[in-house]
Every structure is written in C-alpha cells, then in structure tokens.
C-alpha cells in the first residue's frame, strides 16, 4: 500500500517509536509528585517542552500540551476570547479554516459573540485587505488564520496578517498543524496550535502556545496541570515521542520538503495532461510541500478513492474531517472550485517517486472507467 494521506496523519517516525518505547519504562509516573520516578517523568516532560518550544519559535513556559490538535484549537480560540471579553466579542476568521476553528466560532456565536468570516480567492489565499479592515473594526477580540490549508496546501500570508493585527492591537491565532516540522514557523502570532501526529509523533498530543502578554483564560474548569491551561494527567511518554519526531522532522525538512515538493510538482503537472477535465486546486507556488488536490469532472470522489484503494493507494477526498459526510468541503466551496470528484494527495516523509509514477500510470484508466460507467465519454 502506498500511503498518500499524510495531511490526515503522518506515519509514526522511527525516532518517535524509539523514544516512546523508552519513555514508557521511565516516564510513567505522575510528574506532579516529588518522589524519584515522578521527578524523572517531570524532567522528561520539561525537556520535551523545551525541544518543542525551540522548534516552534517559542519559550518553554508558553507551551502547553493538550489531548489533540483539535482541543488545542478549541482552547486557543475560546480561551483568548474569554481572556479578552473586555476588549470585545468579535472574532475574525478566514473562510477556509479547519473545522475545529469553525466549531469554536460557532460556540462563540451561540454564547452571544459575533464572527466575521473573510473570503479567499480561487487559489485559497485570504483577502488580506478585507482581513485587515475586519481586525480594525471596534470590539475585535481575536483573529484566526491557518499557516497552510489542510485540504489544498495553500500557504496563507501569516506575517502580513500578523502585522495588520499588531497595528489593530488584536492577537492572531495561527493553526500550524500542516506546517509544524515541515516549514519554518511563521512570525507574528500571539497563539499557535499544532498536532503531533501531523509531524510523525503519536496521536493524542496537541500543542497550545500562548505568547507572554496575550490575555488568555481557560474556558474549562481549572486544573493545576499545564500551567492551569489544560486539565488532566499529561501523557509523558507520548509527549516525549512527539518531541523526538518534531526534532527529527525539522532536521530533515530542508532536504525532504524539497524532494516532496518536486514530486507534488510532478503530480500537478502530469494529472491535467493525462486526464481530461481535471482542475488542479490551490496555489501552485505558495503551498505546503506535501499536498496537492485536484478535482475530476463527472467523477464521484468516493468512487475514485475506492478504485485507488483496490490498486494499493491510501488517498483521501476533500476534508479529512468531513470525508464520512455527504456535505461538500467548505474549503472548496469558499474557493469557488469543483467540490466533487475531489482527490487530495498528501505525501509522507520518505514517499517514493516510484509510487508517484505508479499512481500517475493507473489514474487515467480509472477515471475513464468511472466516467464510462456513469455514461460519460470524454
């Protein structure tokens, strides 16, 4: 099986596996206690915190660990809104944010707050002028902008948006799930979230980073863990493995990201040449190195994925978080592109050119057969 769904989850990095197994033996105790095994667990936890902070461009005391990237986003959005209630109740967000941001925004609206959603162009880049105008409006408590889109890979102008937010005195939350470990951390954010299983760490570890000076209050009942930001017992072995994976991926990223990006360029170039009536989606240049999305006219994405699965390819369609529903992707709708017959190829570390060549070889005939079965000839 050729695994091409790294945007959903990256396979566990070998160094993460080694670190996890070792930490299960020595990092199992409660890091909040004072006896020997607990002190050892605390040391491992704080070392992992320091390593992850360094990779993300933060201070260790700004980093907290959550149970998932989704929980990190929920706490980041709702906690900052809660901490800045006196500043106002307006939330500004782009139309292509991850569903976790949109769901948190929905909670905020039901609580009496307001949300302004900023549109994007056909490549998925946020309308920066509209974004800047929105954050300048009175009563804006928080703005959200992802580092790169999880469905189409388009990189957002985070540094420029951050400058607009700084001018308005509004904190910016950046969801960096698709770029942490793969690309340099963006500049100018006030709150940053990420998810370990996206960079080759284990599932069940999210990262919430709140810059010093950013007003933040937990929207949950307080706990003594994780600087009172995140309730519950820390999963020290998993956090240690997450740090090992991030350290390894960041060290490999310059060379590996360039290699993966060249494979993505090949897919972007060859698919429209080989398959009629195909739209390749997302910015061709300002993009994450591992993601390419295309839509095939007259083809149901699920049917194509089933055929690809039979041929030995693990690939997703549309949003990885809404693939089990019949609802069209909100990202593709916001971009004004084809919302059906959508295929997202996201290459993991180590993906081979041979597998990409095989994918390009089998795809045209699959699309042709599905179209013929539907009574369409191209």
pLDDT tens per residue, range 207-254 = 999 999 999 999 998 888 888 899 899 999 999 999 999 999 999 998
DSSP designation for 33: S
Instruction: For residue 339, name the pLDDT band (cuts at 50, 70, 90).
Output: confident
> Nearest 5 degrees, angle CA 228-CA 180-CA 309?
115
Protein fold of 14-248? 3.40.640
For range 33-37, the mean pLDDT: 96
Residue of 168 and 329 predicted with greater confidence = 168
Task: Answer whether 37's CB lies under 8 Å from 43's CB.
Answer: no
**Range with the poorest average pLDDT among 52-56, 241-245, 335-339:** 335-339
Percent of the chain at pLDDT exceeding 90: 90
- Tens digits of residue pLDDT in 139-192: 999 999 999 999 999 999 999 999 999 999 999 999 999 999 999 999 999 999
- Residue 55: the pLDDT is 97
Angle at CA of residue 75, ends 163 and 170, nearest 5°: 20
Burial class (CB in 10 A: 0-12, 13-18, 19+), 178: buried
pLDDT higher for 364 or 324? 364
Residue 136: per-residue pLDDT: 97
Decide whether 2-6+253-374 matches 14-248 in CATH topology: no
What amino acid positions are annotated as catalytic residues?
321
Q: Read off the pLDDT of each residue in 46-71 and give the average, rounded to a whole number.
A: 97
pTM above 0.75, yes or no: yes
Domain parsing of the chain, residue ranges: 2-6+253-374, 14-248
> In whole numbers, what is the pLDDT of the chain averaged over residues?
95
Q: Which option is the CATH number for 2-6+253-374: 3.40.50.620, 3.40.50.2020, 3.40.190.10, 3.90.1150.10?
A: 3.90.1150.10
Judged against a pLDDT cut of 80, whether residue 340 lies above it is answered with no
């Amino acid at each position: 099986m050729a695994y091409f769904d790294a945007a959903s989850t990256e396979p566990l990095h070998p160094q993460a596996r080694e670190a996890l197994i070792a930490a299960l033996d020595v990092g199992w105790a409660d890091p909040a206690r004072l006896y020997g095994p607990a002190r050892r667990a605390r040391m491992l936890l704080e070392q992992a915190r320091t390593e992850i902070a360094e990779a993300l461009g933060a201070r260790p005391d700004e980093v907290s660990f959550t149970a998932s990237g989704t929980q990190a986003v929920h706490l980041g959005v709702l906690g900052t809104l809660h901490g800045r209630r006196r500043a106002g109740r307006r939330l500004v967000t782009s139309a292509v944010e991850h569903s976790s941001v949109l769901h948190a925004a929905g909670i905020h609206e039901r609580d009496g707050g307001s949300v302004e959603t900023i549109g994007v162009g056909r490549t998925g880049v946020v309308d920066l002028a509209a974004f800047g105008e929105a954050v300048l409006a009175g009563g804006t408590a928080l703005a959200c902008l992802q580092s790169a889109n999880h469905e189409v890979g388009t990189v957002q102008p985070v540094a420029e948006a951050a400058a607009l937010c700084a001018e308005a005195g509004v904190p910016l939350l950046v969801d960096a799930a698709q770029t942490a470990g793969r690309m340099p951390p963006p500049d100018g954010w006030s709150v940053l979230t990420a998810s370990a299983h996206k960079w080759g760490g284990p599932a069940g570890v999210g990262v919430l980073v709140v810059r010093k000076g950013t007003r933040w209050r937990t929207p949950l009942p307080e706990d003594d863990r994780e600087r009172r930001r995140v309730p519950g017992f820390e999963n020290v072995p998993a956090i240690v493995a997450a740090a090992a994976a991030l350290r390894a991926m960041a060290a490999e990223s310059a060379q590996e990201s360039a290699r993966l990006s060249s494979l993505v360029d090949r897919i972007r170039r060859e698919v429209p040449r080989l398959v009629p009536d195909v739209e390749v989606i997302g910015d061709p240049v300002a993009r994450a190195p591992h993601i390419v999305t295309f839509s095939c006219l007259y083809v149901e994405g699920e049917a194509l994925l089933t055929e690809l699965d039979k041929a030995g390819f693990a690939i997703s369609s549309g949003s990885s978080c809404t693939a089990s529903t019949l609802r069209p992707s909100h990202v593709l709708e916001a971009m004004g592109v084809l919302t059906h017959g959508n295929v997202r190829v996201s290459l993991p570390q180590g993906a081979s050119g041979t597998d990409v060549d095989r994918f390009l070889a089998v795809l045209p005939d699959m699309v042709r057969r599905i179209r013929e079965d539907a009574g369409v000839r191209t």
